[in-house]
């Protein structure tokens, strides 16, 4: 009798804890701090929280429109691709699309191979890069080595189509570098803006007040910069429209990304989940929902 009660009690506690953790993990608190008016202010935000949104560098609507009109962007998937079936021949168009748009998780497509961008795409992408250059230069200039050995390690056009799932928590690099994400539509809590664990670039347990997991809510063309050591993930898109974005990453040649192996990535994924749950519990936001 007592044994049965103990088993039922343990199962109920475990089930409750699992449900509570799941609820905390699915909270989406918007990022309201970390907005910086100037490049020096952005560098300070990056040092403190690992993240900065810089309205002064925001792309004007014409540049957002030109980016969305690039040949690469026009070929972007707008819904989940049907899985390839054994024995069924794909059309050349389907094959090309699959080569250009790599799947990273259900509904998340990335065009990250620079060779896949044609000269027309590159003309537009260079205009965008011109706009973010002051921030990139300043980020690296504060270190003794200045701009020595700094290179663009990634140029990516990506989209999360309706129904896409959350990415695993990850860092872009173990070494200090700068990643910049530019929403090409407004990022909202519903369409799955990037979620960042503030402060995780420097501290293993970044659970101080006002930190924790925050979702980028920002208009199209915004410049959202984060230290590449900041733990982050793209969230699932719960709307009926795609959520495209550009990503530029910059690193030093002596610390190329990702700076860790598979075990390191798995550990970061687990650390991200744990910090997400703990910061949600500490913030008390769950009591309001
Ligand atoms: O989709 C996002 O918001 C983040 C994307 C990202 O972190 C990645 O592709 O590695």
pLDDT of amino acid 27: 72
Q: Is the CB of 158 under 6 A from ligand 1?
A: yes
Distance 102 CA to ligand 1 centre (A): 13
Sign for the CA dihedral angle at 222, 151, 153, 172 comes to: negative
Q: Is the pLDDT of residue 117 over 90?
A: yes
CA angle 87, 91, 93 (to 5 degrees): 145
Atom number, ligand 1, closest to the C-alpha of residue 108: 1
Residue reference for tokens 């497509």: 109
pLDDT tens-digit map of 12-52:
656 655 655 665 566 789 999 899 999 999 999 999 999 99
Domain topology for 2-287: Jelly Rolls (2.60.120)
Q: Sketch the domain layout of the chain as residue ranges.
A: 2-287
Distance CA 237, CA 108 (A): 9
pLDDT tens-digit map of 149-205:
999 999 999 999 999 999 999 999 999 999 999 999 999 999 999 999 999 999 877
Residue 26: helix, strand or coil by DSSP?
coil
Atom number, ligand 1, closest to the C-alpha of residue 187: 3
pLDDT tens-digit map of 74-101:
999 999 988 777 788 888 888 888 889 9
pLDDT of amino acid 146: 96
Q: Which residue has the higher pLDDT, 115 or 140?
A: 140
Distance 233 CA to ligand 1 centre (A): 6
Q: Is the CB of 234 under 6 A from ligand 1?
A: yes
The pair of three-digit structure tokens given for residue 158, joined into one six-digit string: 């990506």
Distance 189 CA to ligand 1 centre (A): 15
Atom number, ligand 1, closest to the C-alpha of residue 195: 3
DSSP code for 114: G
Sign for the CA dihedral angle at 142, 256, 231, 267 comes to: negative
Distance CA 155, CA 117 (A): 10
Sequence-separated contacts (24+) of 201-204 with Cβ below 8 Å: 201/50, 201/176, 201/226, 201/227, 201/229, 201/230, 202/50, 202/229, 204/271
Alpha-carbon distance values, 263 to 20, 22, 266 (Å) = 27, 24, 5
Q: Is the CB of 194 under 6 A from ligand 1?
A: yes
Distance 111 CA to ligand 1 centre (A): 12
Distance 18 CA to ligand 1 centre (A): 26
């Amino acid at each position: 009798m007592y044994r049965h009660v103990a088993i039922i009690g343990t199962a109920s506690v475990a089930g409750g804890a699992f449900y509570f953790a799941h609820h905390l993990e699915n909270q989406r608190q918007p990022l309201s701090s970390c907005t910086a008016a100037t490049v020096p202010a952005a560098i300070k935000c990056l040092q403190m929280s690992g993240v900065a949104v810089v309205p002064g560098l925001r792309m004007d609507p014409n540049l957002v429109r030109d980016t969305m009109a690039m040949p690469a962007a026009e070929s972007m998937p707008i819904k989940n691709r049907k899985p390839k079936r054994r024995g069924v021949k794909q059309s050349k168009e389907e094959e090309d699309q699959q080569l250009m748009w790599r799947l990273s998780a259900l509904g998340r497509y990335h065009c990250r191979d620079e060779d896949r961008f044609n000269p027309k795409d590159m003309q537009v992408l260079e205009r965008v890069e011109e706009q973010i250059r002051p921030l990139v230069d300043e980020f690296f200039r504060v270190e003794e080595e200045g701009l020595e050995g700094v290179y663009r390690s990634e140029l990516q056009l990506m989209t999360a189509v309706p129904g896409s799932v959350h990415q695993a928590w990850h860092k872009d690099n173990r070494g200090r570098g700068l990643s910049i994400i530019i929403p090409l539509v407004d990022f909202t809590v519903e369409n799955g803006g990037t979620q960042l664990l503030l402060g995780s670039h420097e501290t293993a347990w970044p659970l101080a007040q006002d930190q924790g997991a925050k979702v980028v809510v920002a208009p199209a063309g915004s410049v959202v910069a984060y230290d590449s050591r900041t733990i982050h993930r793209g969230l699932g898109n719960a709307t009926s429209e795609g959520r495209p974005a550009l990503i530029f990453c910059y690193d030093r040649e002596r610390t190329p990304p990702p700076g860790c192996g598979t075990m390191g990535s798995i550990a970061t994924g687990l650390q991200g989940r744990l910090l997400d749950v703990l910061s949600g519990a500490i913030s008390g936001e769950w009591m309001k929902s």
